[in-house]
Structure 1
Amino acid sequence: MIIKASTSLRNDYATISDLAHREEEPIYITKNGEGDLVVMSIEAFERREETLKLRARLEAAERSRLAGDATYTIEESRKRLEAIYNREDA
């Protein structure tokens, strides 16, 4: 976890920006000793957003599976995937 004071952001933006891109993780900015902001590179933010979207889809699929909705055997899954990939190759 990277923590920097707000004065670092105000006085040395370039260093904070370089750090965000290099470390690829959030930088916590404090103000008067308390947490205030989180700064991160756009690339890291977009990766995080995609991960959260994927996690939500996986959780929805697991809830559906546990509820007994739309479950498939391995053979049914294989056939469905083959149909998808064969369609894309055409």
Structure 2
Amino acid sequence: MPHIRPVSDLRNNFAEISKIVHETSEPVFLTKNGYGDMVVLSIEAYERKLFKDEVHFKLKEAELEAKSTEKRYTHEEVFSQLKVGLDDNRE
């Protein structure tokens, strides 16, 4: 069930809203005059959402590329390239 609060609660009950977003990892939706105005989310939950969005985007990109070419890579080719990339980042 979503947490919906009036925007005035951000000022009057900040600690409570902060506790909700950190303990539940869910957003709190703030309303102004009965209409949605903004969303409050913990940094951790926001970063997880960004990561999931990026992974989803990369998978869609890979799916489109796979449809546009017949080139396929073996397990060994993929992991050897990943290892090279990891080794380059360590230096």
Identity percentage of aligned residues: 33
Within 5 Å, give how 1:1-90 maps onto structure 2: 1-68=2-69, 70-72=71-73, 76-82=74-80, 84-85=82-83
5+ unaligned residues in a row in structure 2: which ranges? none
The count of aligned residue pairs is 85
Q: Secondary structure at the match of 1:3?
A: strand
> Distance between the aligned counterparts of 1:69 and 1:46, measured in 2?
35
Q: Residues of 2 paired with 1:83 and 1:39: CA distance? A: 40
Q: Which amino acid aligns with 1:3?
A: I
The letter for the 2-side match of 1:20 is V
TM-score (norm 1): 0.81
C-alpha spacing 1:5/1:68, structure 2 compared with 1 (3 Å): same
The amino acid of 1:14's aligned partner reads A
CA RMSD across the alignment: 2.0
**1:10, distance to aligned residue in structure 2 (A):** 1.4
Superposed CA deviations along residues 24-47 of structure 1, whole A, max 9, x for unmatched, are 011110011000000000010011
Change (3 A) 1:51 1:35: same
Structure 1: gaps spanning 5 or more residues: none
Write the deviation string for residues 36-87 of structure 1: whole angstroms up to 9, x where unpaired: 0000000100111111111111110000011126422xxx223431564488
The 1:68–1:31 alpha-carbon spacing in structure 2 relative to 1, beyond 3 Å, is same
